[in-house]
A and B are shown apart, each in its own frame.
Chain A
Amino acid sequence: MMKNNLTLLVIIMFFNLLLNRITIASDCSDMNNQEIIRLDTEGGPLYQSPVQDQDGIGTCYANATSIALKTALPGQPDLSYLQLAINYAQKNETPKNKLNGVDSAFKSDSGPGEVLINGGYVCDTIKATQENQNGVCKRNDVALENLLFNSSASSFHDSAMLQNKIIQATSEYYDSVKNNLVPGAAVEDISHRINRMTKQQQKFKKAIEQRQKEYTKEFCSKPDISIAESVTKNIIAKIYLHLKNKGISASNLSRVKNPLDKKLFFFTLSSGNPLSSDGPDSEVIISLPKDTKDFLLKNYMKQMLASPPPISAQAVYKNIIKDMTPKLDPEIYKAFFEKISPSDVSILEKDFSRYVKRDIDECAEKNKLAYYNNLDGLVKDFSGMGCEAYKKQSISLNKLSVLLSDNNLSSLEQLNNYITNIPHLSYEEALRAITAPNCNNSNKIHIPSALTCVNNSKSYTQVLEQYVYDHHLKTQVEVNVLVKNAEAAERTRVSAAFDAEIVAINVNPLYLNKIDKESIEKKNSAIKTAEDKKKNQLKEVTATIRNVIMKSLVGAETETALWNNYKESNKNKFRSDTLTRLKNSKQAITLSICTRVFDDQNATALRDGSCQKDSSLNNKYASVGGYHAVTVTGAKCLNGKISYLVQNSWGDWNQIKETKNADQTQHYETEFGKAWFSEDELINNTFNYQNIDFKK
């Protein structure tokens, strides 16, 4: 009996296995069950490739392009997404804006500096870069992109949309220069005008250089204790580490055997540095009390200029620490100077050269931007010199330089040279100069024409529309009339709702008859929110209405059949295109996806014909949906189902972990900045995808 049962079990298991294999083989096409393909594992083109974070600027298409190109180009270069976006905008957006009298894609007719990096397309970006003689720089050579995350700034600056802010400031500066090139006389020969204005700009540049020289000379000759202060802090930090690593704290001081350690503990306390790293930003902060700073200022500088001159800055520094009151215990003094590092000694000696030997070249070079940062001096200089016309130019130059120096960029010189030397300089070229001062021609990457990018898109609404015409349900003219009428009704409805909202804001007791600044700002903000809502509702109104009308014309049953057919053919093509590239040529695929699927695995934006927020979801939570570009960098076959690894450009992208299954478990499998999506989830929400091929 037992034996029979066992035989039966083995037979069942065998058939089960066989059945599984058959199912698995048919569901995963060319992939075996349990097979995983990833471009980011060892040996893959994206191995150790960092995840990007585009912050508050709309460059997703350029972020995705840079990742896809890394997998396609020889040597796997990390290309600058900011420069890719500039190339895209210059080719595709600037000409459109020119029709409205605005000369750049990064501005709008609402005023200079209005940044318009609000989305784009992968294939157009690649094409624009192929055609652009400037090519594209690597991320490491684009200071704006690289230094944002690698800044050695001494304090934290608000970096929100920093790219935007710098582009805006560049825009304003560029405009102020261009405004000074406006002809004085109504009728003037173009070349004559350019010659005349170029001469004026050269004059401005020369004047700036002269004043800059004088300013840095004065600046670099001033008494300055910041070097001595920084060396002192370094030494105290080392004492702090020494005590911390020995586990010495106020609570166990009585058990500390070494008397010097005890003394050092009290010394750090008397220096105002408790032994704790529990600062509000979790950083170890070392500070100097005011009397120590005053003592340094008074004595360090005095001794530096003593007669006969001191032999070295280190000697001066040692002398004043010795003389510091209250006098240091000789043991602490000795321990203190044991901690001074060779680099600190070298820094002190540089200061000695600057202040005592008056060798200011290094300091002047380092502080070139300081002149521009001094708005009073800058404006006064040019107003006083009879250059009133350049006041605006000076103010915008100052604004830009403050942003640049705050973020360790020093490319202003280059931009200035660019703008003043090349009268026909385009705005985008000026942007390139400011964002990538270190990127010279030999560092640039040119995308070869052998690289192709093909868009794969077919609108589902078009499929429905074709069915309507093929089956003579309506003519094209009739459809257009239906859409036009429904659209007009929807526009009227949205406008009426908007008007009602504005009336409600106007009579709201919070704002009614209030004239204080805060109330006015709050009211304006409420109006702006209502305007944005209206704009958003109307944005995809045509696409949504067309989709709804076509669905009603074909009927629910036919529509379901059409959708299933459409989805199946889409799925097969996508699978074949993606797996071929991931597996054979190790190349990534880029997608234009609706972000609703990030919040809701059941979203079907493609079937809805638009990425508008689903009203039923709206009741659940205020999910934010929008078009977005991401990259597929892997695939796997598990239990006969394929899923794809999607790489995003939102940093760690942890919020996707909150998308839950019915039993409240996490739905998407995630990694840092990446998540796995089933084939259905991707196909239901991908509006198009791009095949990038390169005959290597």
Chain B
Amino acid sequence: MKFLLLLSLFLIFQFSYSVYGATDIWKMGNHFLEFTKDESQNILISKSCDNRKCDALKILKIISFKKINSSKLEGGKNPGSILCTDIAGAQIIYLRDLNGNDNSFCQFKDQSMVSASTLSTFARKNDEK
């Protein structure tokens, strides 16, 4: 029983990321959206992913560059955008921070979002394993 409990705890930690960090605001028009910025893991993700298993968090476990061909990136396209549309099958949303910087985010069916660069980061982490 104890073993099973330990095993399930191990599996929970193994197959999910937990995000803790500062709150960041990104906006689209009048929509003000809250994000968690976890510097230690290099994650920028919807605040709603803090306490539930959202799609944006799940994809970080499996995203990979392996199926992306260099030709897809001609002209210096943002690799995170290509991962979002071609691998994750999600949609890109453009948001702007309160200083006017642009950033693209990947939005999933459950509406959770993660920055395109977080996708690139985790694709690389996963491919290095």
Q: Do A and B bind each other?
A: yes
Distance, CA A539 to CA B100, complexed state (A):
38
- State whether B75 touches A120 (Cβ < 8 A): yes
Distance, CA A53 to CA B64, complexed state (A):
21
Distance, CA A672 to CA B24, complexed state (A):
13
Distance, CA A280 to CA B57, complexed state (A):
12
- State whether A621 touches B71 (Cβ < 8 A): no
CB within 8 Å of A: which of B64-122?
Answer: 64-82, 84-85, 91-96, 99-104, 107, 110-113, 115-118, 120-121
| Cβ proximity bits B26-43 to A, threshold 8 Å, 1 near / 0 not | 001111111100000010
Which of A59, A151, A622 is close to B28, meaning CB atoms less than 8 Å apart?
A: A151
CB within 8 Å of B: which of A608-626?
Answer: 613, 620-626
Q: Is B18 an interface residue (CB 8 A)?
A: no
Distance, CA A626 to CA B20, complexed state (A):
34
Which of A57, A282, A657 is close to B77, meaning CB atoms less than 8 Å apart?
A: A57
Task: Say yes or no: A56-B92 contact (C-beta < 8 A), given A622-B64, A624-B70, A650-B117.
Answer: yes
- State whether B125 touches A160 (Cβ < 8 A): no
Distance, CA A650 to CA B28, complexed state (A):
18
Which of chain A's residues have a CB closer than 8 A to the CB of B115?
651-652, 654
Chain A nearest CB from B65 CB (Å) reads 4
Task: Say yes or no: A280-B76 contact (C-beta < 8 A), given A53-B104, A149-B28, A160-B92.
Answer: no
Q: Is A252 an interface residue (CB 8 A)?
A: no
Which of chain B's residues have a CB closer than 8 A to the CB of A622?
64-66, 68, 127
- State whether B75 touches A117 (Cβ < 8 A): yes
- State whether A161 touches B31 (Cβ < 8 A): no
| Cβ proximity bits A658-685 to B, threshold 8 Å, 1 near / 0 not | 1000000000000011000000000000
Task: Say yes or no: A652-B44 contact (C-beta < 8 A), given A56-B78, A60-B76, A626-B74.
Answer: yes
- State whether A654 touches B121 (Cβ < 8 A): yes
Which of chain B's residues have a CB closer than 8 A to the CB of A516?
none
Which of chain A's residues have a CB closer than 8 A to the CB of B100?
48, 50
Distance, CA A624 to CA B79, complexed state (A):
8
Q: Is A633 an interface residue (CB 8 A)?
A: no
Interface size class of B (residues with CB under 8 A): 35 or more
Q: Is A629 an interface residue (CB 8 A)?
A: yes
Chain B nearest CB from A96 CB (Å) reads 16
| Cβ proximity bits A562-579 to B, threshold 8 Å, 1 near / 0 not | 000000000000000000
- State whether A56 touches B82 (Cβ < 8 A): yes
- State whether B65 touches A623 (Cβ < 8 A): yes
Q: Is A279 an interface residue (CB 8 A)?
A: yes
Which of A620, A623, A651, A672 is close to B78, meaning CB atoms less than 8 Å apart?
A: A651
Which of A151, A281, A654 is close to B42, meaning CB atoms less than 8 Å apart?
A: A654
- State whether A149 touches B76 (Cβ < 8 A): no
Which of chain A's residues have a CB closer than 8 A to the CB of B121?
654-655, 657-658
| Cβ proximity bits A613-652 to B, threshold 8 Å, 1 near / 0 not | 1000000111111111100000000000000000001111
Q: Is A61 an interface residue (CB 8 A)?
A: yes
Q: Is A443 an interface residue (CB 8 A)?
A: no
Chain A nearest CB from B87 CB (Å) reads 11
Which of chain A's residues have a CB closer than 8 A to the CB of B64?
622
Distance, CA A278 to CA B49, complexed state (A):
9
Which of B70, B77, B118 is close to A58, meaning CB atoms less than 8 Å apart?
A: B77
A629, closest chain B residue (CB): B76
- State whether A658 touches B42 (Cβ < 8 A): yes
Q: Is B54 an interface residue (CB 8 A)?
A: yes
Which of chain B's residues have a CB closer than 8 A to the CB of A426?
none
- State whether B65 touches A621 (Cβ < 8 A): yes
Which of chain B's residues have a CB closer than 8 A to the CB of A650?
78-80, 116-117
- State whether A626 touches B73 (Cβ < 8 A): yes
Q: Is B48 an interface residue (CB 8 A)?
A: yes
Looking at A371-379, A489-497, A529-537, A687-695, the stretch in contact with chain B turns out to be A529-537
Which of chain B's residues have a CB closer than 8 A to the CB of A655?
42, 79-80, 117-118, 120-121, 124
Chain A nearest CB from B121 CB (Å) reads 4
- State whether A158 touches B91 (Cβ < 8 A): yes
A117, closest chain B residue (CB): B75
Which of chain B's residues have a CB closer than 8 A to the CB of A672?
101
A593, closest chain B residue (CB): B76
Task: Say yes or no: A532-B76 contact (C-beta < 8 A), given A55-B104, A156-B107, A652-B117.
Answer: no
Which of chain A's residues have a CB closer than 8 A to the CB of B65?
621-624
- State whether B125 touches A149 (Cβ < 8 A): no
CB within 8 Å of B: which of A113-153?
Answer: 117-120, 148-153
- State whether B73 touches A156 (Cβ < 8 A): no
B49, closest chain A residue (CB): A282
Distance, CA A349 to CA B82, complexed state (A):
47
- State whether B78 touches A280 (Cβ < 8 A): no
Distance, CA A539 to CA B74, complexed state (A):
12
Which of chain B's residues have a CB closer than 8 A to the CB of A465?
none
Q: Is A599 an interface residue (CB 8 A)?
A: yes
- State whether B76 touches A621 (Cβ < 8 A): no
Distance, CA A55 to CA B117, complexed state (A):
11
- State whether A621 touches B127 (Cβ < 8 A): yes
Which of B31, B77, B107, B125 is close to A56, meaning CB atoms less than 8 Å apart?
A: B77
Additional A-B contact list (20), CB under 8 Å, known A118-B74, A281-B46: A53-B78, A56-B85, A58-B74, A59-B75, A59-B76, A119-B76, A120-B75, A148-B94, A149-B95, A153-B29, A282-B34, A533-B69, A626-B73, A626-B74, A649-B76, A650-B78, A651-B117, A652-B103, A653-B117, A655-B42
A binding-site residues for B, Cβ under 8 Å: 48, 50-61, 117-120, 148-153, 156, 158-162, 277-283, 529, 532-533, 535-536, 539, 595, 599, 613, 620-629, 649-655, 657-658, 672-673
Closest 7 CB pairs of A and B: A58-B75, A60-B76, A628-B76, A160-B92, A158-B91, A655-B120, A651-B103
What are 11 A-B contacts with C-beta separation under 8 Å? A50-B100, A53-B103, A59-B76, A61-B75, A151-B29, A159-B104, A160-B91, A532-B71, A535-B71, A625-B70, A654-B121
